[in-house]
Amino acid sequence: MRRRAYRRQQSSCNEVKQGHVAVPENFLMIQQFVDKGGNPWRLNPVETAERVGIANLGFSPGDKFVFRSYYVDYGSGLNHALVDAQHGICKFLVELYQPVRQGGSGIWAVERVTLLGV
């Protein structure tokens, strides 16, 4: 009985889209909207991971999202953020980047989701 419950919980990992996730978004329009005061959550990588993750990637409203770190990809010059996400027993790493503008006024976009383990 326990083994079935574990398998059922583990299959919940497959509910979340993994790998490079191309969410169709117009980043220039989103950046302009944020510049005018709309969707301020786009300026926070944790909130962006949560909202985009729930809306498009299979995460659930009760899942936990926690900031891990920032880094700069010196090849592209883009800022990146890493966010840990817990979906049931599944642990994920959500990678985000700033596609339009770097720094505090730049929006965040989800780039990749990786299963870390159960």
What is the structure's pLDDT at 23? Answer: 86
> Between residues 11 and 75, which one has the greater pLDDT?
75
- Number of folded domains that form the chain: 1
Share the mean pLDDT of the chain.
93
The sign of the CA dihedral 13, 115, 19, 58 is: positive
Q: How far is CA 21 from the centre of its chain?
A: 9
For 35-52, write each residue's pLDDT tens digit.
999 999 999 999 999 999
Contact 84, 66 (CB under 8 A): yes
pTM over 0.95: no
What pLDDT, on the 0 to 100 scale, is given for residue 10?
Answer: 55
pLDDT at 32: 98
Q: Could you tell me if 83 and 68 are in contact, meaning their C-beta atoms sit under 8 angstroms apart?
A: yes
- Chain center to CA of 73: 17
- Which range of residues forms the domain containing residue 21? 2-117
